[in-house]
Chains A and B, each alone.
Chain A
C-alpha cells in the first residue's frame, strides 16, 4: 500500500513535524512498506467481532470530588522553556 508524498506532508502537518525533504522521501518509502505489512489486518472478516480498546474488563473507575493540594507555582513553572510572570509564554497563537 503506497502512500503519496502529499499524504506524507498532510500527516506531518497534522502531527506538527517539520520534516526535511530527505526525511519526507525516506518516510514515504518506509511508511509504504510498514502500511503494506500492517494492512494485513484487513484480510480478516471481523464484521461480527466487537473491538477491544482495553484489555481489562472494568467500568466506572472514578475519583471523589475532594481537592488535593495543587503545585506551588514555582514547581508548575520549574521546567518551562519560557515564562512571563506566572504564565507560560509561547509565540503568538
Chain B
C-alpha cells in the first residue's frame, strides 16, 4: 500500500511593534532580565490590559495576506492555566471569535498552484521566558529551580493555524518559507527562528493514498529551523507508516524536540487532557474592525511573494526556478525588473542577476537597471574578466557600463587588421611553423595582439582576423 502524509502547521509570529500587546513597555531583545516590565505585564493586582492598536492593524493586514475573512466582531478570551511564565494565570488569546478566519494561501510550485487553507489567524500575548537551572544543562527535566524573566512576556503574537493541506515535508518547508517571507515583507515581524520570533508546531498523520480519512496525529513541538522541521517530519512520517504496516496503531502524543541538540531524539508525552476554561475577557471590549479600514488595508496590500513568483513567470516567460529564486530576494527581483524594463533580455538578465550579481556580493538595491541592461547586452562580446570587473563595480555610485564595454574591447575588424598584420610580419618563423601544422601557436599570436593593444581587443574578432590572415 502506498501512504499519503497529512500535515498541518500551527505557527506563532511575534509582531515587531514598539510596545507590548497589552501594556506600553517597550520591546527589546537581549535586555537585562526584568527591565522591560510594569505592573501590567507583571500582573500586579488590579492591573488591566489595553490592546495595542498597531498589533490589531497588523493582524488584519496579515489576515488579508493569508486570504482570510476579517471578522466584523472579534473577541479576546482568557485561556486559563498555571505556569510561571504566565503571570496572570491566563493568557489573553482569541477563541471562537478570532480576527481572521477561513483563508487560502497561494503556494506556487513547478507543477502549478497549490493553496494551503488557513483555519484562523488570531492575536494573543506571548509568555515570559523561563530559564531552568541546576540539574542537567538547562533541560526541563532535572532542573532544580526555574528563573523567570518577564521582558518578553506580553509580546504581541499572531497564531496561524493551517488546514492539514500539506502532503510532504518539502511542501511544509516551502509553505513556511513563503509565509516567513510574507510577514517580513509586510514589515510586521522579523520572523527569525533563532530569536524565537517565528516558531511553529507540526501535526502529522498518514493515510492510505486516495483515502480522505484523518488518522491519529502526533504533534511535533519546538521546531527551530526549516531544515530541522523537514527532517523531523520525514522521520515521523516514516515511523507512522512503519507502525501501520506492522499492523499497529499510532498513539496520539506530543514529540518535544530539544532545540539545543538536533541529534537528540524527541521526548514523547501523552497529550494531557487540558481544560483551559476559555471565557470572554471581561477586562476588554470587543473588536469591530471598521469595514472601510479593512478595505483600504486590502487595497494597500503589497504584492505577496507567492503572487510575485507567478507574475515573474508569466510576464517574463521565466522558468519557475528563476521566478522562485528572484522572488525570494525582493531587491533582486526589483533589479531584474528594472533591467528588463531598460531593455535587457529577460532570461539573460535573470541569469546574470541570480548568478553573477549574487556571487559578486553586490547590493541589488543600488544597481542602476539601465547600466546593467547595457552589460547584459554587451556580455557576449566583452572579455569575461571585463564583465566580472564591471559587475563587481555595478553597485558603486556613478557606475557606467560604457567604461567597461566600449573602452575594453575593440571589436571593429578594420581597426584591428593593421595590428594583426604587423604582428604576423614581425614573427615570420612562427607563421611558418603554424602553417606547417603547429596550430597551437594561434594563442601566441592572440597574446601578441593583446599585448600590443593593452588587452583592449575583442578576442573573438582577433581570432577571426588571425585565421583569415594565416589562411586557415
**Is B308 part of the contact surface with A, judged by Cβ < 8 Å?**
no
**Would B285 and A54 count as touching, CB distance under 8 A?**
yes
Give per-residue flags for B101-124: 1 if the beta carbon is below 8 A from chain A beta carbons, else 0.
000000000000000000000000
Interface residue ranges of B136-169 to A (CB < 8 Å):
140, 143-150
CB distance from B448 to the nearest CB of A (A): 71
A61: which of B140, B279, B285 is its contact (CB, 8 Å)? Answer: B285
How long is the Cα–Cα vector from A89 to B144 in the complex, in angstroms? Answer: 11
For A89, list chain B residues within 8 Å (CB). Answer: 145-148
Q: Which residues of A contact B50 (CB under 8 A)?
A: 61-63
The size of the chain B interface, using a CB distance under 8 A, is: 53
- Is B374 an interface position by the 8 A CB rule? no
Closest to A87 in B: B147
Within 8 A of B (CB), among A67-93: 67-68, 70-71, 73, 76-77, 84-93
- A86/B53 in contact, CB under 8 A: no
Cβ contact within 8 Å between B37 and A70? yes
- Rounded to whole Å, the gap between the CB of B319 and the closest CB of chain A is 43
User: 0/1 per residue, B6-37, Cβ < 8 Å to A?
Assistant: 00000000000111000011100000111111
CB < 8 Å: which of A62, A66, A87 contacts B148?
A87
A93 near B34 with CB under 8 A, answer no
Interface contact A92-B287, CB-CB below 8 Å: no
Whole-angstrom distance from the CB of A66 to the nearest CB of chain B?
A: 6
Write out the residue numbers on chain B whose beta carbons fall within 8 Å of the beta carbon of A77. 34
| B454 close to A (CB within 8 Å) | no
* B277–A76 CB distance below 8 A: no
Instruction: Report whether B132 and A65 are in contact in the complex, using a CB–CB cutoff of 8 Å.
Output: no
Whether B54 sits at the interface, judged by CB under 8 Å, is: yes
Q: Which residue, of B25, B75, B277, has the highest number of chain A Cβ atoms within 10 A? A: B25
Known: A59-B288, A65-B17. A71 touches B39 (CB 8 A): yes
| A18–chain B nearest beta-carbon distance, Å | 13
CB pair A86 B33 closer than 8 Å: yes
Residues of A within 8 A of B52 (CB): 62-63, 65
CA distance A93 to B145 in the complex (A): 7
What A residues does B18 contact at CB under 8 A?
65-67
Interface assignment of A26: CB less than 8 Å from any CB of chain B? no
Closest A-B pairs by Cβ, 4 of them: A87-B147, A65-B54, A67-B26, A62-B53
Sample of 25 A–B contacts (CB below 8 Å): A53-B282, A59-B285, A62-B51, A65-B19, A65-B24, A66-B19, A66-B24, A67-B18, A70-B25, A71-B39, A73-B37, A76-B34, A76-B35, A76-B37, A77-B34, A86-B34, A86-B149, A87-B148, A88-B148, A89-B147, A89-B148, A90-B84, A90-B146, A90-B148, A92-B145
